[in-house]
């Protein structure tokens, strides 16, 4: 922690964050946090408090954090000179309404000095993404991008979709804009290059070609249907294609097809014909491929009506690998250039950086960001605003897509707001709900029972908040939907109370900025009638939260026909809505999403149970021993019937392990 020196001066020390973990540091790894005695002057606030900090701030680059009285981070900023930047806040005049509100709420500040301004920029982006301050521009959708991986640590390289850290040896190609784009590309590449997609353990255990070989999507190197040299040639072609040499690969395949045809080897010619067809399918799904753009990301921003949309297009190896729309959280007073400037540093905080970045408009810190990204990528990164040619056309294409996505989002948001207002009127709520949770159960004759929870709010479904509950209780009779719902409700709200306490029921305070998505629901929708509602009310009473949330049951109508649903809630007799009521359609959509999610979770659990092997339950049996046992005996059932001597005769199975396996299957003998 920071402390005062005996003479009253300030001692600089490396500190830890509140969670006990070291503060994220820039690349120099020597950032230090600076705190001042002013932090103890609780009677000061706003510009007066900031003025006290200014007196002792250094003329050095760094990052500052502003906190409110509750300890929440309001803002994270960086500066070439901490003293000069923070002095502007202390003056208390000439600020926008946004800055004025932020300064007035500031009750504490913390500082980190860095060696250079570029390090400050990178640290600022890291802290903004982690702390999500209210007054910063926030990158809301920060999912990792999928890549295509051709493995390099196996004698027969495989073709996989990959997300996350690049821990495995191999060649990574991307990013692709979506998992769907990767899936389509891999599917077509299997037909074009016949590269395997099975796991290494499956590869090792094959004794005959699998179905993919039969349908001409794999060359079956696992069983020697193709020589190692022949398979390596296929892998090299796939790498060349993904590296931007698609025309060369296409020409070579066409030449091989013509040669086979001239030699009257029509069967081989047909194979090349099918591969060429699959290759054309891949190229057709990559959209427009500008010849002048080899490796670049294109950012185009459209900011209007208090909503900002940034379209990002990815060009790699001369090919368009898709695009994604972002809607960052930003104050309406900020310009598009200011939002784009803040967005870029956060975007590349944990993503590979291309050699070129094309923008739709100039940003203030373009040179600084270019330098920071070049340092991070360890090579030259160029940020430009194209004025003409194919690069400008790519930016204009991005702008057109940004405008279209912006319009769709505005329309969806407005529609959602009207539906929530109608929902509040229909069910007698004081205000439109900001968080609706919908619950459903799924099982087959009580087996693999799963409870699903989906969440909706002002922006539609919030999939990051979805939860599934594997039913664990052994006291529930199989098929007891009421018992399952009791368990789901108990687990959900017991944890919610533990983590967030019980809300007081008052309306949320009026906020100048956007509030974080609430943890507590205003409304819970239960897929069920009076019986389900009785079980739910009992749990809510037991936990003391009957008045904290509004519970509504949805029972299917006569003959389970959509449009005849009956609704159950406290203080009202059950009722129905008019068949064409927009609120009814809205509720049906919520219920169907919960049903889809619960069924999907149930199927995933059931599939896992179906492929579960009895050998997985034995401690000490890993993939290698499991493979050895199955190859020796043929099946888990045969392993269970084997004697001790037979088990000990398997490679890698010691006498002690053989005894452990034997005892597992003969516990009662």
User: What is the per-residue pLDDT across 589-637, written as a single tens digit (0 to 9) for each?
Assistant: 898 898 888 888 777 766 666 556 677 777 778 777 878 887 777 777 7
DSSP assigned state of 601: H
User: Are both 58 and 155 inside the same structural domain?
Assistant: no
What gap in Å lies between CA 272 and CA 123, rounded to an integer? Answer: 52
Q: Is residue 425, in this structure, part of any structural domain at all? A: no
What gap in Å lies between CA 632 and CA 635, rounded to an integer? Answer: 9
What gap in Å lies between CA 447 and CA 455, rounded to an integer? Answer: 25
User: Are both 391 and 466 inside the same structural domain?
Assistant: no
- Please check the confidence at residue 667 and state whether its pLDDT lies above 50: yes
State which H helix or E strand residue 47 sits in. helix 46-54
State which H helix or E strand residue 308 sits in. strand 307-316
User: Are both 279 and 228 inside the same structural domain?
Assistant: yes
Token couple for 587: 């509720």
Give pLDDT, residue 46: 82
Which residue's structure tokens are 């329309």?
Answer: 411
User: Are both 268 and 337 inside the same structural domain?
Assistant: no
Q: Is residue 596, in this structure, part of any structural domain at all? A: yes
Q: Is residue 277, in this structure, part of any structural domain at all? A: yes
Domain count of the fold of the chain: 5
Q: Is residue 178, in this structure, part of any structural domain at all? A: yes
User: Are both 488 and 524 inside the same structural domain?
Assistant: yes
Q: Are strands 467-470 and 436-444 parallel, antiparallel or unpaired?
A: unpaired
User: What is the per-residue pLDDT across 293-351, written as a single tens digit (0 to 9) for each?
Assistant: 878 999 999 998 788 999 998 888 777 777 888 888 888 888 889 999 989 988 888 78
Residue 331, helix vs strand vs coil: coil
What gap in Å lies between CA 578 and CA 364, rounded to an integer? Answer: 55
DSSP sequence for 249-264: HHHHHHHHHHHHHHTT
CATH code (residue 91): 3.40.1440.10
User: Are both 77 and 201 inside the same structural domain?
Assistant: no
Give pLDDT, residue 33: 47
Which residues lie closer than 8 Å to 462 by C-beta, 6 or more apart? Answer: 455, 456, 517
Q: Is residue 141, in this structure, part of any structural domain at all? A: no
Give pLDDT, residue 552: 92
User: Are both 33 and 84 inside the same structural domain?
Assistant: yes
- Please check the confidence at residue 512 and state whether its pLDDT lies above 60: no
Closest CA to 382 of 357, 408, 352: 357
Q: Are strands 382-384 and 356-359 parallel, antiparallel or unpaired?
A: parallel
User: Are both 463 and 523 inside the same structural domain?
Assistant: yes
Taking a C-beta distance cutoff of 8 angstroms, is the pair 126, 65 a contact?
A: no
User: Are both 587 and 477 inside the same structural domain?
Assistant: yes
Last residue of a domain, one of 97, 131, 165: 131
Last residue of a domain, one of 256, 284, 312: 284
State which H helix or E strand residue 234 sits in. helix 228-242
CATH code (residue 473): 3.30.420.340
CATH code (residue 645): 1.10.150.20
User: Are both 657 and 583 inside the same structural domain?
Assistant: no
User: Are both 71 and 100 inside the same structural domain?
Assistant: yes
Taking a C-beta distance cutoff of 8 angstroms, is the pair 103, 77 a contact?
A: no
Q: Is residue 413, in this structure, part of any structural domain at all? A: no
- Please check the confidence at residue 505 and state whether its pLDDT lies above 70: no
Q: Which domain holds residue 650?
A: 614-665
Give pLDDT, residue 14: 35
Taking a C-beta distance cutoff of 8 angstroms, is the pair 410, 404 a contact?
A: no
Q: Is residue 466, in this structure, part of any structural domain at all? A: yes
- Please check the confidence at residue 516 and state whether its pLDDT lies above 80: no
Residue 52, helix vs strand vs coil: helix
User: What is the per-residue pLDDT across 7-34, written as a single tens digit (0 to 9) for each?
Assistant: 333 333 333 343 333 344 444 434 444 4
CATH code (residue 380): 3.30.420.10
Q: Is residue 422, in this structure, part of any structural domain at all? A: no
User: Are both 454 and 398 inside the same structural domain?
Assistant: no
Give pLDDT, residue 399: 92
């Amino acid at each position: 922690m920071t402390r005062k020196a005996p003479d009253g001066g300030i001692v600089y020390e490396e500190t830890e964050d509140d969670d006990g973990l070291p503060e994220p540091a820039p690349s120099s790894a020597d950032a230090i946090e600076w705190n001042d005695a002013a932090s103890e002057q609780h009677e000061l606030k706003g510009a007066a408090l900031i003025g006290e900090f200014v007196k002792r701030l250094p003329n050095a680059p760094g990052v500052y954090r502003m906190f409110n009285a509750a300890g929440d981070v309001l803002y994270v900023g960086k500066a070439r000179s901490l003293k000069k930047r923070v002095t502007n806040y202390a003056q208390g005049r000439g600020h926008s309404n946004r800055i004025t509100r932020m300064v007035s709420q500031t009750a504490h500040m913390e500082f980190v000095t860095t060696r250079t301004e570029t390090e400050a920029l990178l640290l600022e982006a890291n802290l903004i993404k982690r702390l999500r301050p209210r007054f910063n521009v926030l990158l809301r959708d920060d999912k990792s991008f999928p890549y295509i991986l051709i493995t390099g640590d196996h004698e027969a390289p495989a073709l996989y979709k990959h997300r996350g850290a690049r821990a495995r040896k191999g060649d990574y190609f991307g990013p692709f804009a979506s998992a769907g784009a990767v899936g389509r590309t891999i599917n077509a590449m299997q037909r074009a290059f016949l590269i395997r997609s099975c796991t290494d353990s499956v590869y090792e255990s094959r004794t005959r070609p699998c179905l993919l070989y039969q349908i001409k999507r794999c060359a079956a190197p696992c069983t020697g249907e193709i020589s190692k040299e022949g398979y390596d040639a296929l892998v090299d072609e796939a790498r060349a294609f993904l590296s931007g040499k698609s025309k060369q690969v296409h020409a070579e395949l066409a030449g091989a097809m013509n040669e086979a045809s001239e030699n009257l080897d029509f069967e081989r010619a047909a194979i090349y014909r099918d591969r060429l067809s699959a290759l054309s399918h891949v190229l057709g799904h990559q959209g427009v491929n500008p010849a002048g753009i080899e490796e670049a990301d294109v950012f185009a921003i459209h900011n209007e009506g208090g909503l900002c949309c940034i379209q990002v297009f990815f060009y790699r190896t001369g090919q368009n690998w898709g695009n994604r729309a972002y809607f960052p959280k930003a104050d309406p007073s900020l310009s598009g250039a200011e939002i784009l400037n803040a967005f870029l540093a956060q975007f590349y905080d944990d993503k590979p950086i291309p050699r070129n970045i094309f923008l739709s408009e100039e940003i203030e810190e373009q040179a600084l960001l270019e330098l920071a990204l070049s340092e991070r990528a360890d090579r030259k990164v160029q940020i430009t605003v194209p004025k003409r040619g194919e690069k400008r056309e790519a930016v204009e294409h991005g702008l057109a897509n940004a405008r279209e996505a912006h319009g769709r989002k505005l329309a969806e948001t407005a529609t959602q707001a009207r539906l929530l207002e109608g929902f509040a009127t229909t069910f007698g709520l004081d205000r439109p709900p900001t968080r609706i949770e919908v619950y459903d159960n799924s099982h087959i004759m009580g087996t693999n029972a799963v409870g699903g929870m989906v969440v909706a709010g002002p922006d539609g479904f919030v999939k990051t908040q979805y939860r599934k509950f594997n039913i664990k209780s052994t006291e529930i009779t199989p098929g007891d939907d009421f018992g399952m719902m009791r368990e789901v409700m108990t687990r959900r709200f017991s944890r919610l109370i533990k983590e967030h306490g019980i809300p007081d029921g008052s309306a949320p305070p009026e906020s100048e900025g956007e509030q974080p998505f609430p943890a507590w629901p205003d409304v819970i929708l239960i897929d069920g009638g009076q019986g389900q509602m009785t079980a739910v009310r009992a749990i809510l009473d037991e936990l003391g939260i009957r008045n904290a949330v509004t519970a509504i049951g949805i029972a299917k109508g006569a003959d389970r026909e959509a449009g005849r649903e009956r609704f159950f809630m406290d203080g009202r007799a059950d009722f129905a809505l008019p068949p064409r009521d927009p609120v009814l359609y809205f509720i049906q959509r919520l219920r169907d999403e919960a049903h889809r999610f619960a069924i999907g979770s149930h199927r995933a659990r059931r599939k896992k149970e179906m492929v579960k092997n009895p050998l997985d339950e034995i401690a000490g049996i890993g993939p290698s021993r499991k493979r050895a046992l199955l190859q020796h005996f043929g099946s888990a059932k045969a392993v269970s019937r084997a004697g001790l001597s037979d088990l000990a005769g398997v490679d890698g199975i010691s006498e002690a392990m053989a005894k452990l396996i034997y005892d597992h299957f003969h516990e009662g003998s």
